[in-house]
Chain A
């Protein structure tokens, strides 16, 4: 059981470039989340999805886009990368609202130079 899988693990981007962070889960979870973690700042919610075809903004959505075409996949798109987007990104999933355990991926380290 792979759980939540994120790729790539590490990436260096130049200012203005675009890229997609991939996230897939094999637990048939309905809810998926993207967080960013800056040093000393905890986890900030970027976008989330409660099911295929449904997405919503979190606390810090600017500069990002998401899509949820399938239950398994929840990619995060960075358009026109900026140094402020240098961070560690975590994808997470949970079955539903009943308070089950949230499962996090291993993280994606992104540096924008």
Chain B
């Protein structure tokens, strides 16, 4: 089955700097890669996603890149702000084959003042 590795487990960046979180996946058939943000005491919420027919997707300060050959994808947050502090999860799935989404272990992002 699919296995998703996420790095780093913890990341601290100065406010205003950029943050990058990386994930790798094992199943080359996976074709849907969402990213979730989880604030303290809340459930995860989708912030951006990308499909395998696209190499990059942007939404304001957030972008995701996908390298299918290397089987890795990354989340980029620019001009970080205090409200970006949270736990971020990557995930992978292959909807046409099965009904499961497999998550990485998460990255705790701290934005330093």
Contacts and interface: CB of A to CB of B under 8 A. Distances in A.
Nearest to B104: A42
A42 B102 CA distance: 10
Interface in A68-104: 90, 92, 97-99, 101-102, 104
A40 B46 contact: no
Interface string A36-61: 00001111110010100000101100
Interface residues of B, number: 25
- Interface size of A as a range: 20 to 34
A57 to B, nearest CB: 10
Given A40-B106, A59-B1, 4 more contacts: A33-B101, A40-B9, A43-B89, A104-B44
Interface of B: 1, 6, 9, 32, 34, 36, 41-46, 49, 51, 89, 95-96, 99-106
